[in-house]
Amino acid sequence: MDDGFGAGLGSERDRCARDPCPWPPGPFTTGDARWFFGRERVVSELVGLLGEPRAARPVVLAGAAGSGKTSVLAAGLVPAVLAGSPAGGRAGVLWRTPGSPVPGGGRPVAECALLVVDRFEELFTARAGSGREAYVEELCALAAGGLPVVIGMRADCYERCLGFPPLVEALRTRSLPLGPMTGDELRRAITEPARVAGLSLEPELAETILHDLGVRDDAPAAADALPRLSHAMRATWHRRDGDTLTHAAYRHVTAPPLAPGPAPASPSPDRERPALPRSDREDPVPASPDPESAASSSGGGPAAPASGSGGGARACPVGRRVRGLVVALVVLVVVAGAGAGLAWQKSGRASAARVTALAERAAVQARALRATDPALAMQVAVAAQGLADTPGTRGTLLDTAEPYATRLRSAGDRLGAITYSQDHALLATGADNGVVELWDATDSRRRTPLATLPRAAGPVGALAFRPSGGDRVLLAATRHGVEVWNVVDPARPRHVAALPGAATAAFTPDGRTVLAAAAHGVRRWRLAGRPVALPPVRASAQVTRFAVGDDTVVTGHDDGSVRLWDPARPASPADTIATGLQDGPAALAISPDGGALAWSAPGRGTWLCLLRARRCDRPVRYGDPAGALAFSPDGTVLAAAGDDRAVRLWTVATRAEVTSFPHPDRVLGLAFTADGQALATGSAAGAFYQWRHPVRLPDPVTGLVLSRDRTLMATTGARGGALWDVRDPRHRVLLSRWNVPPAADPALSGDGRRLATVERGVAVTVWDIRDPYRPARHVRLPVRGLAVAALSPDGRVLATGDHGGRLLLWDVTGPPRRLAARDGFGDVGALDFSPGGGLLASGGADRGVRLWDVRRRALDQVAHHEEHADAVAGVRFGPKGDVLVSTGHDRTARVWRIADPGRAPRPAALRGHGGTVLIAGFSPDGAALATTDASRTTRLWDLRSRRPIAELSHPDLRTVLYADDHTLVSAAGHDLRLWDLRPESVAARVCEAAGMPLTRAEWRRYFDDLPYRPPCS
């Protein structure tokens, strides 16, 4: 029987070069990184070891023979290190074995991002005793000099390495054992390369292969499982049916299936040293040709004529010989033409596969980039999905699309001054190099300023629009003077006045007076036609900052004090706050209504106090020091940004952090729009951003449920419940808030008239919400050990499950009355009524999923399965009632077709989650399913093909439900977020808000040499 390899490994390698094979014959190379999956955790740990402060010794990766050390280093670590190398920094990689010399100093080493020494066990055969010690000392010296060094070796030479004192400390503190892969890791090594290559697996093929390997999800595989798996997958790939890996192909090449024994021989020498990518400059190690793009080089030519046993053949007549040559030439032309056509088709497939691989890689990078530069991440995600629409790229696009951010580049070098006009149509920015620009805040597609004011002399210390009056008057302050401009027509700014020098300035609340810092107080000018000087306000210390509220002016001084003034009676401050600072505050802000004051300084943190009659109540420390502060227009939220490249929003009333988001650079300035819907940030890199955020909730959401008709939504949190009108998901209307016990789980009746809230372990309360503006308590039912509850579609029957294993049915039309009971299930933790109300589904700790006929208000079991390998976490009926999905702690969801419950087939498994699958939600048409796991990852599935559509993630993601066929609603901390599932719609909105498109340098960073086609240009 054919073992799937063919006559020789050389011809197989040629075929893989022409038509990319996701499972290479031998160790993975750097060029194979797009196919390399399953070892992400190990690669991450290696990168972490390289980044530790004590990184002055080599890192050692030790594993058994066949564990995949070379693949981890070449296809995992090397691409990760190169991807993290800054532009213009170290970009090359040196790859060595003990048989080759240690690289010396000079340019190759200086430009190198990493030195890898593979097969370190060869040290004991390639070098003599003193040569071994010298080799180890040279490696350790390179590591001590700042070059990251990683050693890969077989674990059985660990003890011999202890004989080298320079290595002992590295082995003690910087070694990482490479154990066998787990079932989940091997599953990814099967399914993910196939996905990236555009291949599909027949249902349950991956599970069959893992079963034949003797692997379970959470248990390590045998030491030789990886090479046997690679052999089986490569051989199955050779016999695939089109783009599908089939059971028939797998069974043909494995007889008996994956039987334990010696692994297939690895191919020879040309794959022993992984191919490494070239950097833009001279690479210390010349790269081997990429097998995807290299031409076939098997070396095979026309076969030599065989020699006969009886000497030379008899000569043919000339005519016959000529005719034979003509026929041969015709045959050769036909064969050559067919071969050229086949080569062209395969070349096209290889090119498409490369584009897909680059898009998948960029999508992964966009997910990581979201933590540091969300605006750039959005555009990379749009570009990746545009190049290749796969579940990975689609999920990244949908996942990175909020908060929407507009990124624009100023001619200024450090934007410390930023402010919106009162009609939030204009945004003004001021930089340290004196550049002041006016931008259209309503058109994010405009990437150039409306106007640039004449450059000021020195850094712009303050910018402010006149707070009232209906016109647009802007002041810009530097230490050389205050310039006042009329910008009613922003394209043609008109100079109004030049006032004496002041490092900072502001308007009074009524907009009639300009305040400017002076050596010993504040200068004042009345703006009425020509500026009129008013008597100055004396102060004992230099003013360094201004903040203006509704009827209060606040000044920060270089003696560390903060003073509050009545602008109508400025003779003396209404209050003076001794902050304990040696210098003036680094940031100062007052809420627009004058009710709250915040300041911050290095080493002292950020402080806030509530104001009453311009007097500060007891100041309260809010958080770490901030370089910029701003209040929302309604005064309920404080935005703060510091040196940690993050912006945080805090509620003033509760001092709770509402949300935070990463910023690409250090933030120097903050400003809210007048309607509070956007926040602008000025950065130290000369760029500024406008951020738009999802709906913010007053407290974190713990429960979320939608009515079956998707018109009503109920949320519960630590401080109560809320009802929302969601007929238009993008314009949600809050109907009511009322008190419910903390952390209660909600359940709605199908008709939307009643709501149950579950206090785990205690009781369930049924609420009458026929008037959604005034929810009223209907009944409260104490249940000892209560775990879950569900309401029938008409709201008349309540089902409860408890930790004691009891399933109870209750009549709740009046005072609660028990109708039926069943027990002995261990722990009933999941319940759901069918849309028609005739069936009840239950699941629990005994792994069982049961269907109960409740039409007679009894519990009559009609179907049952125990396909889950662990406890059941959730059950959910489809919108038509003919499908039931159960989720479990075994990290799977099971789809059960129950149109005829008595003859229901075995449920199909949906796999791929990394943790307990907690909840499932159907689209209204029943064609798609969303499943969410404990790792805060949501997978979207096409139920017809049982294939993933996309994968979403959020650090606080708990509940995700379909609002309509193309919109998800999720509760994630304080965020009530909508996810548009139409990639083209999301891409359009991203580009509408994008501002500056991807630069050519950014395109090359994420998409290599693909033609430059930025999506938002």
The overall average pLDDT reported for the chain is 80
Does 104 score more than 70 pLDDT?
A: no
In a domain, 138, yes or no: yes
Q: Rounded mean pLDDT of 436-457?
A: 84
Reported as a pLDDT band with limits 50, 70 and 90, residue 872 is very high
User: Which residue, among 807, 809, 811, has the nearest Cα to 822 in the 3D structure?
Assistant: 807
CATH code of the domain containing 410 = 2.130.10.10
Q: Are residues 129 and 241 in the same domain?
A: no
In a domain, 31, yes or no: no
Q: Are residues 379 and 434 in the same domain?
A: no
Does 293 score more than 50 pLDDT?
A: no
Does 449 score more than 50 pLDDT?
A: yes
- Per DSSP, 214 falls in state T
How many C-beta atoms lie closer than 10 Å to residue 619's C-beta? 17
Q: Which of 670, 692, 714 is the last residue of a domain?
A: 692
Does 702 score more than 80 pLDDT?
A: no
pLDDT the model gives residue 259: 45
Q: Are residues 710 and 855 in the same domain?
A: yes
Dihedral sign (CA 592, 597, 601, 606) = negative
In a domain, 334, yes or no: no
- Per DSSP, 582 falls in state S
Weakest mean pLDDT among 70-74, 119-123, 241-245, 284-288: 284-288
Contact 375, 662 (CB under 8 A): no
Q: Which amino acid is at 722?
A: A
- Our count of domains for the chain comes to 5
Q: Are residues 105 and 207 in the same domain?
A: no
Considering only residues 900 and 223, tell me which one the structure prediction assigns the higher pLDDT. 900
Distance of CA 785 to the CA centre of its chain: 38
In a domain, 865, yes or no: yes
Q: Which of 225, 253, 281 is the last residue of a domain?
A: 253
Q: Are residues 740 and 856 in the same domain?
A: yes
Q: Are residues 660 and 747 in the same domain?
A: no
- Distance, in Å, from the CA atom of 170 to the CA atom of 177, rounded to the nearest integer, reads 13
Weakest mean pLDDT among 412-416, 656-660, 853-857, 1000-1004: 656-660
Q: What H or E segment, with its residue span, contains residue 364?
A: helix 318-369
- Distance, in Å, from the CA atom of 631 to the CA atom of 663, rounded to the nearest integer, reads 19
- Distance, in Å, from the CA atom of 852 to the CA atom of 848, rounded to the nearest integer, reads 13
pLDDT the model gives residue 470: 58
Q: Are residues 665 and 809 in the same domain?
A: no
In a domain, 313, yes or no: no
- Distance, in Å, from the CA atom of 129 to the CA atom of 127, rounded to the nearest integer, reads 7
pLDDT the model gives residue 957: 65
Q: Are residues 377 and 434 in the same domain?
A: no
pLDDT the model gives residue 18: 53
Q: Regarding beta strands 883-888 and 893-897, do their DSSP bridges make them parallel or antiparallel, or are they unpaired?
A: antiparallel
Distance of CA 766 to the CA centre of its chain: 38
Containing structural domain, residue 587: 405-692
The residue assigned the tokens 């005034």 is 774
Q: Are residues 838 and 961 in the same domain?
A: yes
Reported as a pLDDT band with limits 50, 70 and 90, residue 5 is very low
pLDDT the model gives residue 730: 63
- Distance, in Å, from the CA atom of 802 to the CA atom of 276, rounded to the nearest integer, reads 58
Considering only residues 744 and 80, tell me which one the structure prediction assigns the higher pLDDT. 80
CATH code of the domain containing 48 = 3.40.50.300
Considering only residues 907 and 406, tell me which one the structure prediction assigns the higher pLDDT. 907
Does 327 score more than 60 pLDDT?
A: no
pLDDT the model gives residue 463: 92
Bridge-partner residues for 908, per DSSP? 895
Bridge-partner residues for 397, per DSSP? none
Six token digits for residue 630: 């701003």
How many C-beta atoms lie closer than 10 Å to residue 425's C-beta? 16
Q: Which amino acid is at 610?
A: L
Q: Which of 646, 670, 692 is the last residue of a domain?
A: 692
- Distance, in Å, from the CA atom of 71 to the CA atom of 230, rounded to the nearest integer, reads 12
Q: Rounded mean pLDDT of 382-396?
A: 91
User: Which residue, among 629, 590, 621, has the nearest Cα to 604 in the 3D structure?
Assistant: 621
Q: Are residues 834 and 715 in the same domain?
A: yes
User: Which residue, among 963, 960, 975, 957, has the nearest Cα to 697 in the 3D structure?
Assistant: 975
Q: Are residues 474 and 605 in the same domain?
A: yes
Q: Which amino acid is at 439?
A: W
Instruction: Please calculate the CA angle 293-297-300 and round it to the nearest 5 degrees.
Output: 150
Q: Are residues 565 and 449 in the same domain?
A: yes
In a domain, 563, yes or no: yes
The strand order across the sheet containing 754-759 reads 745-748, 754-759, 763-768, 776-782
- Distance, in Å, from the CA atom of 515 to the CA atom of 497, rounded to the nearest integer, reads 14
Weakest mean pLDDT among 393-402, 555-564, 608-617, 709-718: 393-402
The strand order across the sheet containing 937-942 reads 917-922, 928-933, 937-942, 947-953
CATH code of the domain containing 205 = 1.10.8
Helix (H, G, I), strand (E, B) or coil at 501: coil
27-56: b or e for each residue (b if 16 or more CB lie within 10 Å)?
bbbbbbbbbbbbbeebbeebbebbeeeebe
- Distance, in Å, from the CA atom of 833 to the CA atom of 627, rounded to the nearest integer, reads 54
Does 665 score more than 50 pLDDT?
A: yes
Q: Rounded mean pLDDT of 53-70?
A: 82
In a domain, 316, yes or no: no
In a domain, 345, yes or no: no
